[in-house]
Structure 1
Amino acid sequence: MAGVHQPPNAPALVSFPDTDALAHSLAAFILKAQKDSLDKKGRFTIALSGGSLPKMLKGLVDNPSVKWDKWQVFYVDERVVPLDHPDSNHLACTTHLFSKVPIPAENIHPIDPTLLNDLEELSDAYEKDLIREFAQKDAARFPIFDLILLGMGPDGHTASLFPGHELLTEEDRWVAYLDDSPKPPPKRITFTYPVINHALRVVFVAAGKEKVDTLSNILDHPEAGLPAARVKPAHPGQLYWFVDDAAAEKVQYPRTPFKL
């Protein structure tokens, strides 16, 4: 991404004074990624997380530069609940973004709500949805998203990849399930590291003073191996942390100025 420079394979830490500035620059980053992707292949593939991330996408609402008909949207992870359940990542993204923009419904890929009682079948179905979108078009071992947006929990988890969980070592599946999430609800499906790390760009979004210790641990002490610190995209120089100054207060890791 032009204007953001960092050593190969090292994340770029970009800190903003408040969440409004963060959201504005995040939208600009997404639009640049969209343009690059549309220029190259005529479509834009993006995967979203839940949590506080959907609220940070407000800069895309009423933005005439977004080519919604070219987007294909997947979820990095999802809670195994009905699509209208308060815990649903799809509901959060719909509430804060999709209900406010003209994206075609068929361009959004939620989980199949008829398969909630069978975790293996549910995760297999979502993996097949990815295969339909990526396998024939890209001919790669793993899907190559143009952009994946991630959050970070206070325990350092990202997606539904939690500290000490067996899914941290999953190397083959694109989508895996768990029924023992330490954070409720217990049943979830999630992208695995190979999928996340094959993306062309990965952006973590973290804001608020409650993230300050975890963010410092991840960036200043990656050797501790927290799940978020294990995100290492195969494409050098394409890992970013978009944070606010409150979250970055204790971080010693060098900041990178943001320019497009």
Structure 2
Amino acid sequence: MAHHAPHAPILFSFRNVDGIVGGLASFITKAQKESLDKKGRFTIALSGGSLPKMLSGLIGNPAVKWDKWHVYYADERVVPLDHPDSNHLACTNELFSKVPIPVSQIHTIDTDLLNDIEELCDAYEKELIREFAQKDAARFPVFDLILLGMGPDGHTVSLFPGHELLAEDDRWVAYIEDSPKPPAKRITFTFPVINHAARVAFVAHGEEKQDVLSEVLDDPETGLPAARVRPAHPGQLYWFVDDAAAAKVKYPRTPTKV
């Protein structure tokens, strides 16, 4: 067994993307089972980029209880739901169109509010409050699982290096109008929400992630947004990567029997 400091990230590295897809599917179904056994529902937040494609191992998997899933977006672009930039469209194309998840349990942005980003952001925060505030009475929601990607610049969700939103510690959902990557307008979970989750899993693959993955895992004080994802105890952080992305990483890998 690899020895980690208490609560250190757990790194799984697979030979290729197919390995990630399989490992991630087992991990998600196990997380789902633990949540269902405990409270009869599974709350998950997804992001966009290449992440939705990585969920294909769940399709047709009899262990997945789709009717118990409650899905939120860890970040979303302020565009119509059928727009090519929409994270919801990517997740629908790759996953939701192929599985029987109740539409009412997939929480999208309110597209009637596209012209008022502040109101749209508040409305999405209220969606979270409806799900979590009564049940948890916690200062921040506790998701069963948040799935994240990471850009080559170390950004995750719509939290970008050097941006003032990195310091947001009060709101659950925040908005950005000057994203360095188009589209400029997005809403995003804040670090306190991400770091209160029971489990956070990053998915990263490809050699273009080598340098940033090594920086985030081997030099956690780097300050990059992805390195600031550190779930509070008892939460746990996992990385699902391929060997190409992990080529420069010195951080110990955990054997990939997920």
Which bracket does the TM-score occupy, shorter chain normalised?
A: over 0.9
Query: What residue number does 1:172 align with?
Result: 170
Structure 1's unaligned 5+ residue stretches are none
Query: What residue number does 2:120 align with?
Result: 122
The alignment's TM-score, normalised by the length of structure 2, stands at: 0.98
- Other structure's SS at 2:181 match: coil
Task: Report the AA paired with residue 99 of structure 2.
Answer: V
- Other structure's SS at 1:130 match: helix
- Tell me whether 1:65 sits opposite 2:63 in the alignment: yes
Q: 2:27 aligns with which of 26, 29, 37?
A: 29
Deviation at 1:6, TM superposition (A): 3.7
Q: Against the structure 1 CA distance between its residues 5 and 259, is the aligned structure 2 distance closer, same or farther, given a 3 Å change threshold?
A: farther
- Tell me whether 1:218 sits opposite 2:216 in the alignment: yes
Q: Deviations 1:137-176 (Å, cap 9, x if unpaired)? A: 1111100000000000011000100000011000100000
The residue correspondences of 1:64-213 to structure 2 (distance < 5 A) are 64-213=62-211
- Other structure's SS at 2:128 match: helix
- Other structure's SS at 1:254 match: coil
Partner Cα distance (2:41, 2:244) in 1: 36
Partner Cα distance (1:227, 1:12) in 2: 18
- Other structure's SS at 2:54 match: helix
2:198 and 2:235 in contact (8 A); partners too:
no
Task: Report the AA paired with residue 65 of structure 2.
Answer: K
Q: Deviations 1:183-218 (Å, cap 9, x if unpaired)? A: 110000000000000000000000111111111111
- Other structure's SS at 2:108 match: coil
For these two proteins, the number of residue pairs brought into alignment is 258
1:150 and 1:202 in contact (8 A); partners too:
yes
Task: Report the AA paired with residue 17 of structure 1.
Answer: R
Q: Deviations 1:54-101 (Å, cap 9, x if unpaired)? A: 000000001111101100000000010100000000000000000000
Q: Against the structure 1 CA distance between its residues 36 and 57, is the aligned structure 2 distance closer, same or farther, given a 3 Å change threshold?
A: same
- Other structure's SS at 1:26 match: helix
2:217 and 2:249 in contact (8 A); partners too:
yes
Partner Cα distance (1:4, 1:76) in 2: 30
Partner Cα distance (1:199, 1:133) in 2: 14
> Kindly, what percent of the aligned residue pairs are identical?
77
Partner Cα distance (1:78, 1:123) in 2: 10
Q: Deviations 1:101-147 (Å, cap 9, x if unpaired)? A: 01010010010111011111001000000000011111111000000
Task: Report the AA paired with residue 106 of structure 2.
Answer: I
Task: Report the AA paired with residue 235 of structure 1.
Answer: H
Partner Cα distance (1:210, 1:19) in 2: 14
Q: Against the structure 1 CA distance between its residues 124 and 237, is the aligned structure 2 distance closer, same or farther, given a 3 Å change threshold?
A: closer
Deviation at 1:4, TM superposition (A): 8.8
Deviation at 1:236, TM superposition (A): 4.4
Task: Give structure 1 regions of 4+ aligned residues with deviation exceeding 4 angstroms.
Answer: none
Q: 2:46 aligns with which of 31, 36, 48?
A: 48
The residue correspondences of 1:10-21 to structure 2 (distance < 5 A) are 10-21=8-19
Partner Cα distance (2:43, 2:2) in 1: 21
Task: Report the AA paired with residue 30 of structure 1.
Answer: I
Superposition RMSD in Å: 1.3
